[in-house]
Every structure is written in C-alpha cells, then in structure tokens.
C-alpha cells in the first residue's frame, strides 16, 4: 500500500512539473494599429498611486468603436513584468480626433508602454434613391 501511495505521489509530481508553462504575453489584435492611431502618455501619481494619462489620436477618417488600450509595465531591461487591458473612456473614437485617457497602475514599474489592443471601425452603407 505504501509503495502505491509513493508511486501516485511521484506521478502527480511529475505531471505537475511537466505542465509548468510560462504565460504568453498579450499583443495587439491588429499588429498595424500604428497606421491608424498614435498614443502619447505620461506617468503621474494620484493619492500616492501611479497612473498613466495621455491621448489617443485617430489619423483615419472612420470612427473606431470598442477601443481597448494595452498597458505594459516594463522592468529596467525593457521586459514585460505586468500587463493590463483597459477600455478607452467612452469607447468611441471619431475619425481624425483625439481622446484623453487615464489608467491606474496596479504594479509600479520603471517604465511603461501603451498600445492599442483592440478596436472596430464603424461600417456603414450609404443608401441612395434612384
């Protein structure tokens, strides 16, 4: 009986070690988002907590909806130590406009990177009478 318990414990340990996989980091859903948007930001503190504030600017003439920002917290060597996806306030960004954003930071880091994680462009049809 004791041998059986040891064998099961060893097997469970082996399986646990084999399934230890590093988490994948998040990347923007649309890799060429920079063609349509620019993002600028700066770090500040509110009540002792770090935040990022900035602007996202649309350089495309169509309204973007469901806009989400990806905030990467970076260590001193530029490696990602934490990530956060945050909805853009109001979630719509009209074409050729800019919108202000603020993001609270949960884990302080030496530097940050903000990118557009996801968005949709409004598709519309124009109906003309004959």
Residue 1 pLDDT level (bands cut at 50, 70, 90): low
Q: Is the dihedral of CA 19, 22, 26, 27 positive or negative?
A: negative
What residue ranges define each of the domains in the chain, with the CATH number in brackets? Answer: 27-121 (2.60.40.3230)
- Distances in Å between the Cα of 124 and the Cα atoms of 9, 62, 121, 127 are 61, 10, 10, 10
Q: What is the pLDDT of residues 5-22, one digit of tens each?
A: 445 545 445 444 444 445
Span 14-40, average pLDDT: 77
Assigned token pair, 66: 């469901």
> What's the pLDDT at 64?
96
Is 37 a residue whose pLDDT tops 50?
yes
CB-CB contact of 54 with 41 (8 Å):
yes
**pLDDT value for 126:** 67
Give the pLDDT confidence score for residue 107 in this predicted structure. 87
pLDDT digits (tens, 9 = 90+) for 56-112: 999 999 999 999 999 999 999 999 999 999 999 877 899 999 999 999 999 899 999
Higher-confidence position of 124 and 103: 103
Give residues with Cβ within 8 angstroms of 103, minimum separation 6.
51, 52, 53, 69, 71, 84, 86, 114
């Amino acid at each position: 009986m004791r041998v059986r318990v040891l064998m099961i414990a060893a097997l469970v340990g082996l399986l646990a070690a084999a399934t230890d996989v590093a988490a994948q980091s998040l990347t923007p859903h649309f890799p060429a988002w920079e063609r349509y948007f620019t993002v600028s930001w700066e770090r500040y503190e509110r009540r002792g907590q770090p935040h990022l504030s900035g602007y996202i600017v649309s350089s495309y003439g169509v309204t973007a909806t469901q806009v989400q920002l990806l905030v990467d917290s970076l260590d001193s060597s530029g490696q990602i130590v934490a990530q956060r996806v945050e909805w853009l306030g109001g979630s719509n960004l009209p074409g050729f406009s800019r919108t202000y954003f603020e993001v609270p930071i949960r884990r302080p880091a030496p530097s940050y990177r903000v990118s557009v994680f996801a968005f949709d462009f409004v598709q519309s049809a124009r109906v003309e009478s004959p």
